[in-house]
Homo-oligomer: A and B are copies of this chain.
């Protein structure tokens, strides 16, 4: 019930020397970034509807008017934060995808890398969820599309080589590849309560990762008797 609780975190990030200096001597770029960072943190925590401009201003140690000066309105600020996050998100994903150039372990590497990414950046999970709930449009549709097409191409190659069964649409394979780690971390905080034993969260992550990869890979492995038509449907 996060939104019903007052934000009891200290009013602002540790006012590091750089930040203080940046405010003493004018530095609009640093100010912009400070606002963006503060907004990001609060938006991730409480969502756009649950975050007030006053709270952002307080955390960024600027006046509310300054937010309007640099970003226009609350909506534009939210969009700016989204763009900022999504660009980083897609960049990382593209990098991960391009790294694994061996088609043999393509899916194992991809799903593992995605799992590790979400594990190390739980904010991304929450951000994606806020986005799915609050926005109908993709902030960077071109980036996502490009990424999917790249992934589809790679999977097609692996299918042609016979390393992945050919009766599954590459697009759907990617969708499942993304859904499994995402689903795990979306419900991670509630998962612990479902387990009787006192396994640590980290250990649980490792156990799930292992089974998930095993299950996922086995499902896409070409079976001996499977020489039927590729491209079904």
Chain A interface (Cβ < 8 Å from any Cβ of B): 1-4, 46-50, 74-75, 78-79, 126, 129-130, 132-138, 141, 144-145, 148, 165, 167-169, 171-173, 175-176, 178-180, 182-184, 186-187, 189-191, 193-195, 207-208, 210-212, 214-221, 223, 233
Contact = CB atoms under 8 A, between A and B. Distances in A.
Contact of A49 (B46, B129, B217): B46
Contact of A172 (B78, B132, B211, B217): B211
A53 to B, nearest CB: 13
B2 A134 contact: yes
Copies of this chain per assembly: 2
Given A49-B49, A168-B215, A210-B233, A136 B184 contact: no
Contacts of A79: 1
Contact of A176 (B130, B175, B215): B215
A217 B134 CA distance: 34
A113 to B, nearest CB: 17
A178 B183 contact: yes
Instruction: Kindly name the residue among A211, A220, A223 whose own CB sees the greatest number of chain B CB atoms within 10 A.
Output: A211
A39 to B, nearest CB: 15
A180 B169 contact: no
A216 to B, nearest CB: 6
5 contacts: A129-B132, A175-B187, A207-B233, A215-B219, A219-B220
